[in-house]
Amino acid sequence: MANSKTNTFLFTFLLIILSTTFLNSHANAVRTYNVMRFGAKPNGATDSTKGFLGAWAAACGDASPSVIYVPKGRFVVGPLVFKGCNSSDIALRIDGTLVGLTDYRVFQGYDKWISFEFVSGVTIVGGKLDARGPAFWACKLAQGGGCPAGVTTLSFTNSNNIKVTGLLSLNSQMFHIAINGCQNVQIQGTRVIAKGDSPNTDGIHVQYSSEVVIRNTKIGTGDDCIAVGPGAKNLLMERIRCGPGHGISIGSLGRDVEEPGVQNVTVKKSVFIGTQNGLRIKTWAKPSNGFVQRIQYLDIIMRNVQNPIVIDQNYCPSNIDCPTQVSGIKISDVVYQGIRGTSATPVAIKFDCSPKNPCTGIKLRDVNLKSANQVEAARSSCANAKGMAFGLVLPKSCLL
């Protein structure tokens, strides 16, 4: 009798445990929302905007982890705005291609094509974003006026815990990826492709954001491969392949008098191929209370780069109505270590700093940059730049 009661008790106890485990696992199950269930068509012609917004709305209404699935095919979509919701764990898994609308004028009044705003815990895995930029570029390059402002392909604004993996951004109208007002962002295994003469097509733009990591990413575009704007801090860029493009730039900074600084930025183990610039810091020659500090450039290869190392505090790309004052941006504690390769111009190192706020704490360590054409030896140029050189430094340092 005792054994029977014991067995019954054990059976009941196990049943309760199994039931609880099942209910918990069921409650935490990941739900999948296929965009085709909401009307999206993979035929490259039908406007699928509503289908994508419908899938997002369904996933947002579900507090459980969820996946928005984009199957193979070409999905034409207009402006997409994905705003914050109940869920803090949504993955967008893309096996297909999102294609912009054929007529770029449809984006008149918009500055973003695919925009995530006030979201947390969003992951994008795989896929291709084809913004169909060439027609828009042609309009801008014609300089006849009448073109819309253009849109950024993928934008994250005021968001946290973002991951982008294995994405291809193709032919953006303007910036390819923009990170603005975000914390804890990881971008890896991403590719950016646009023609070398495509205007204002920055690969990745980061500003007013912290704890951002960009790794194992290949960028070829018509503007900066990566641009770091005001208010960026704790940013790591590692194993970046840049070219064509304008290099990796901090700036431009100093447009406004009141502007947050840039700090704790590292670029390491990266390669620049045929770019206009390599490692660049650029500021406008006008008053500002901004700053650039604690910057590290480590283990970098330059291949036929026009300006491998440059600080330009008289930045004015159009050379029209340039400010005639001096830059108020204070640049300090910048380390260049293990920078090597070839310069396409005679001046391989150029520090053109502010006479009011000279660059300070510049460190050159184990730098070896040679002229690519071997006709004229590479040289350094310095103005208002203070610092020290360590180890082998070629061309010879001109730091004060």
DSSP assignment string, 229-283: -TT-EEEEEEEEEE-SSS-EEEEEE-SSSS---EEEEEEEEEEEES-SEEEEEEE
Is 24's pLDDT higher than 50? no
Q: How far apart are CA 205 and CA 154, in angstroms?
A: 10
| Cβ-count burial 109-118 (b if 16+ within 10 Å, e if not) | ebbbbbbbbe
Return the pLDDT at 115: 98
pLDDT tens column, 327-361: 999 999 999 999 999 999 999 999 999 999 999 99
What tokens does 65 get?
A: 């982890």
Return the pLDDT at 373: 84
Is 197's pLDDT higher than 50? yes
pTM exceeding the 0.75 threshold for the entire prediction: yes
Is 17's pLDDT higher than 90? no
Mean pLDDT of 97-108: 94
Return the pLDDT at 142: 87
Q: How far apart are CA 202 and CA 221, in angstroms?
A: 7
- Residue 361: CB atoms within 10 Å: 15
Using the structure block, give the residue that is written with the tokens 């012609």: 45
Using the structure block, give the residue that is written with the tokens 């001096």: 326
Classify 90 as helix, strand or coil. Answer: strand
What is the amino acid identity at position 110?
A: Y
Return the pLDDT at 232: 98
DSSP 8-state assignment for residue 104: G
For 224-399, CATH number? 2.160.20.10
Return the pLDDT at 144: 66
Is 6's pLDDT higher than 90? no
**Surface-to-core class of residue 340, CB atoms within 10 Å of its CB (0-12 exposed, 13-18 middle, 19+ buried):** middle
Return the pLDDT at 29: 80
Return the pLDDT at 19: 36
Mean pLDDT of 248-263: 97
What is the amino acid identity at position 326?
A: V
Using the structure block, give the residue that is written with the tokens 């459980």: 64
Active-site pick, 26, 176, 205, 246: 246
26 among known catalytic residues: no
Return the pLDDT at 84: 82
Highest mean pLDDT among 10-24, 142-156, 239-253: 239-253
Is there a contact between 307 and 336 (Cβ–Cβ < 8 Å)?
A: no
Is 363's pLDDT higher than 70? yes
Using a pLDDT cut of 90, give the percent of the chain over it. Answer: 85
Q: How far apart are CA 169 and CA 154, in angstroms?
A: 8
Return the pLDDT at 28: 54
Is 13's pLDDT higher than 80? no
What is the amino acid identity at position 198?
A: S
